[in-house]
Every structure is written in C-alpha cells, then in structure tokens.
Chains A and B, each alone.
Chain A
Amino acid sequence: MYSLRPAKQTDISDILTLACEQGSCHASLPKTDEAIRSVIQTSEDAFRNPSDQPSLTGNYFWVLSKESAIVGTIAIEAFTGQKEPFYSYRRETLINASYRLKVKQSIPVLYQSHELAGYSQLHSITLHPKHRTSSTIALLIQGVILYISEHPENFSSKLLIEFPGFKDERGESPLWNDLGLHFFQMSLKQACYHASVEDKALIAQLMPNHPLYENLLSSTSQSTLGEPQQDLDDYYQSFIREGFRPSNHIDIFDGGPCLTCQSSNSWSQQENARTRLDVLPVLSHETIVMNVNKEQPIVVLVGVEQRDNAIATLNLSPSSWIRWVPINTEEGY
C-alpha cells in the first residue's frame, strides 16, 4: 500500500538514490546529502510550527513509500517569493496597428514578472519509474491538497505548479538556447545546478529584464513557449484533472508552463469529506485517506478491497477524524 508522509532525516539516502534516478518531474529536487538534510530540516520545522501564524517560508517535503521503500517525493512551498523574488515571464499581446497605413498585427511580448509571488507551489515531484502510474501521481497531488484543505491557514488560496518546458531530441531547450545561453554562456543543466545550490533569484537576475518580443525569438522557441516537456504528459494531465489550468506565465529559463488553480476550486478540495473513521463508507473506488494530524500526517491510497487494511495502517481509533477523497484518475473516477 502506498502512503505519503513528511520526510525524516533517516530518509536522506533513499531520497538521494531516488533523486539520481530518472523520472524526476522537477529539476529542483536537491541532489546532495547536505542539501537534502537542509530541505528536510526546513520541512520538519514547517510541519512542527506550533504557532497560530503560518510559516511564510515553510516548505513541506513529503515522501511516498511502499512497503517502507521510498518511491516518490512531493513538496509544497507555502508561499512563493518570500525568501527571494519569484520570477516568471508573463505573456501578453500588443496590437500593432495603424489605421492610416492599414496595418494590424498582434505582437506577443514576454514581461518579467513577480506576479506569481504568494502562491503555494507544488514542486520536487518525483516518482521512481517503476511506480509512476496515474494512481501514484494522483496520490501525490491529491494527498498534499487534502493536507492544505485541513490546514488552509498555512497556505495560500492559490496553487501553482511550474512544469519543465519543451526539450528537443537532444534534450535542449530552444528558449534557453535563444536567450539564457547568451547571458549565461552555460547549458540549462548547469544553470539549473547553480540555481539549486546558489540563490535562485541571483541566477534569475542575470536573465534579460526588459520585455522580450516573442517574434524576435527563433521560430522553434516561439512555437514551443508554454509547452511542457514531452515525457511529462501523465503529470500534466493529472494536474489538469485536478483543476489546474495553464496561466499566461511561463518559466524564465525553459519556457515551461505555469499552471495555477484556486485552491478552493481544486477537485480534491471540492470532493473531499471530513468524517470519523468509523463512518468511512464501503469504497467503490480507490480512495485517498488522511489522518488529521498536523505534525505527522499520513495519507494512504486505499484499494476497494483494502478498507480495513488501511484503517490499520493509519493506526487510528475508530472514533478518530479523517479526511478522504476518491482518487481522481481517468480509470478511477
């Protein structure tokens, strides 16, 4: 049975192994022992935060395990742009028109923006290739949204996921090669590495800060702006199903789409129920069930036949409260 829980310091080596495997959805997953230790420390502080005030810089780092093996990760940054500015390009359209010259043309423009600051951002999503299914993807997304439903005061009312952008057959980003490469004189991978170990904002500041006319980019860049990396379609579809929609913002490095969702409009917030464990009905679908423990949440994916097994895994008394939501996959619901 798959279960999702906050990462612990004892998970470091497992996370590191996973981070170095293929299948990482997001480049921001740390890849050194030390970096992971620090991420987990921050996360533990966020889960443990006893005050009434939300931890603005909180970053909740979760691991997905199956039979005690760690097979996936996901994190929620409570509010983007707190420690450092959050950069994106906002795509807008200018109309270039002259009545006298009988000219009219749309000119798409990219503006550097901090408008996506203050969102709760889902990131560091990883699944071991053997465990990458629509169910596990749904569990990651819906699991953390259940937690957000339970503790809304700790999160923003708006959710964000930034997808890696389109890559060509050599794995190169056309936008990076048009733009970032010129200012950085290094590959996108190297730049992402610097962004993960140094200050990400420092790196972003090196990007061109004047508006950019899209029609001056190469035609490949133009046609792939806002397109997600091709092998992430399953993740992309899961977010769409959850209620996320492409915004007019894209990633400043590789042009990947920024999907946003009003938290209260997300599928899992709308469909979940908060009940006592003993009134959990007989399941007709796979179901995601979470205890309501703020510091030590556990979210499990329960098969139709596994109801009693799940109750045991959660290790709760029948009178305990839970939140649960049917799984939202094409097959499942």
Chain B
Amino acid sequence: MFVRPIQESDLDSLFHLASSVGVGMNSLPADKDFLAKKIDRAVKSFHQNLPKEQASYLFVLANSDNQVLGVCGIEASIGWDEPWYTYRISQMVHACQDINIYSNTPTLFLTNDQIGYSELCSLLLHPDARGKKNGPLLSRARFLFIHQFRQLFAKKIFAEMRGYNDQQGQSPFWDNLGKKFFNMEFERIDFLTGRGQRSIIAELMPKYPVYSHLLSDAARECFGKVHPNTQPALEMLKQEGLRFENYIAIFDGGPVMEAYIDDLRLINQSHSLTAKELTDQHQMIEDQAPLLLSNNSLENFRSTLSFHYQFEDQTIRLPKEVLLELNLQESDVTVAPLYAKDALITEPKATS
C-alpha cells in the first residue's frame, strides 16, 4: 500500500469510492463531472501550473495492483474564489456589580477567519481497506508532503470535521439555526455544499451574532461535536497537534481543528535520510513501531509505511518492497514515526 498523487486515469476508481459513502462526505460527491474537474485541478497543482490560491493536492491510496482504495486532499490556501465561513464561539459577559449581575453567554460570530489557511480535506477510505494502518498512512502521508513542500502551503492549517447528526441524518444544529433562515433539509444542504454551492448557502446564514441561549439544548450540544464516525479522525488530528480553537462549521456545528504547520508533531519529528536496502531482514521477526516514509518528489510523490528498518547514522535500511513502493529516483527519503508515542523508539541518531 502506498500513497501517490491522483491521476486522470483514477476517475472511475474515485467515482466508485465516492459512491460508497452517504451523507457527510460532502467534498467528494458521486458526480463524475465534478470529480473530473477536481482531478484536473489536482494534476495541474502537482505540476505547479496553478497559483497557490487555486492549488489543491489530491492523493490516493493504492495497492501493488494500483487499485485505488482511498483518497485524501490538501487545499493550499482556501477562501479566495469564494469566502470560507465559520462561526467563532466567543464569550459575551454582561455584568453589573451594583446589582450583582454577571452572565456569560457563548455567542456565535460569523467569520472568514480561516481565509488563506491550508485545509486538510476529502479523506475517504474504502471499507475493504480499513485496518492494517491504512487509515493512518493515508491521512498522515499529507503531513510529510507538506513538510517537504512547505512553501506551497500557508502558515496555518485546519480541518473542518463532520458535525453531529442523529441516526436519521438530522442535524439538531442545522434544524435549530440554519433551517430557520431558509427552509431546507440538512441532506440537501450537504448535497449542495459538496457541489461547490457552499458560499451561496453560507451567505443565507445569519450574519449577526447569535446568542447561544436562544438555541435549543440539542443545538448547543452540537457546538464542536463530531459525528461518531468521525471520532477516530478527530483523535488523529489531536495527536498530530491540531486543536479546537472555538471555531465551528456553520451548517452542522462540527469542530474546526487547526494548528500552525510548524508546530505539527509529524513535521517536527521527520528526518531526511539516505535509504539503503535492508539485507538481513530475516533477523527481524517482530514488527517494529510503524515508520512513515516518503520520497522527495513533488510530481511523483510516494509515501508508505515500513515495519522493518535499521538506522545507521544518516542512513536508513528498508526492505526491498518498501523501496520499490517509494519509487526512489535517488536515495533520499523523509521518515517520521507514524505515531507520536513511538517518537523515541524510532529516532535516528543525531548527526555528529
């Protein structure tokens, strides 16, 4: 399994993948024309044919038969073609000492504060490919890419997480807020936002601050709450250093997780090393802590995992199949422990 840039020939696979999920995966609708445009934009981006404001990097997870089993993306800098909206939850205090009054009301302010940030988006893994650390590989490979091509991205990065909705697909946040301003079901909103109508809808949302006590308890509980299926992705982002900074999605109240790119765990723990073949692999029976690897190519980027490796100063020895998956032109690789907890185990020796 490895991660590589998407190609035009991946359209059918991507369509198939997008068809396998329902409401909530709104940035990848099962719509061939739409997906073809998305791929086209990504291909141009990898060839550096688009300005940063339009660049979008899409990656696929492929197996040795080059079968596509997952997809993930990074928008280089969002909010330029059309504004990006979020609600910021701010505190509003009304107080008067003379008559002993103090009240603090969380209040929603509509903002465009994420404009210019890079965005992690479009993460989708086929159900058949779950397990075997494929999910962590797919989502984290992006951080190695960002690390190597740091100049292509912004100072900050964020991910808008899918918010809570109930088993019928109803979002209490939507029903209590957005729906009162234009009568549409959440499913329809989700559909439209997926097809690039996001800002048109956002412009119909209330622009003045919303005192949260005017919303129902159920709607307030949705502030920053993810859909149960999104919980693992949220945990992953937290481990990588993204944090909830009181911004939420305007339609379903899902959390916006954000970080300074330079503070990301994976980026701080990655190293450039020279790769060599691991010849005495037979001595290693047990798996080591998984190591995330990538080559250093932009257009032919590859990232994969290795469970067997040896560090020798500035060199890393890797199994032959891993080297093949990395499609190395030269011998330079970037490595980082896949998980934060493994940092010490896999740290290569410092240069003397």
Contact = CB atoms under 8 A, between A and B. Distances in A.
A252 to B, nearest CB: 13
Interface in A193-230: 194, 198, 202-203, 205-208, 210-213, 215-217
A312 interface: no
Given A101-B200, A211-B208, A182 B98 contact: no
Contacts of B201: 98, 101
Contacts of A207: 94
Nearest to A184: B101
Interface of A: 96, 98, 100-101, 103, 105, 107, 109, 178-179, 182-186, 194, 198, 202-203, 205-208, 210-213, 215-217
Contact of A96 (B103, B105, B182, B197): B182
17 contacts: A101-B182, A101-B192, A101-B204, A103-B183, A107-B206, A183-B94, A183-B103, A183-B105, A186-B101, A210-B107, A210-B208, A210-B209, A211-B208, A213-B206, A213-B210, A216-B177, A216-B215
A182 B105 contact: yes
Contacts of A105: 181-183
A215 B204 CA distance: 14
Contacts of A205: 96
B150 interface: no
Question: Which applies to chain A's interface (DSSP): helix, strand, loop or mixed?
Answer: mixed
A245 B181 CA distance: 30
A103 B182 contact: yes
Contact of B101 (A100, A107, A185, A213): A185
A196 to B, nearest CB: 12
Nearest to B189: A101
Interface string B179-205: 011111000000010000100110110
Interface in B151-182: 177, 180-182
A107 B200 contact: no
Interface in B41-100: 92, 94-96, 98-99
A213 B107 CA distance: 13
A212 B182 contact: no
A103 B204 contact: yes
Contacts of A202: 96, 98
Interface in B202-255: 203-204, 206, 208-211, 213-215
B201 to A, nearest CB: 7
Contact of B103 (A98, A101, A184, A203): A184
B183 to A, nearest CB: 7
Contact of A206 (B94, B107, B213): B94
B103 A213 contact: no
Given A96-B182, A210-B208, A182 B213 contact: yes
A283 B204 CA distance: 63
Contact of B197 (A101, A107, A217): A101
A222 B120 CA distance: 42
A178 B98 CA distance: 23
B96 A210 contact: no
Contacts of A215: 180-181
Contacts of B101: 183-186, 206
A80 to B, nearest CB: 22
A68 B1 CA distance: 101
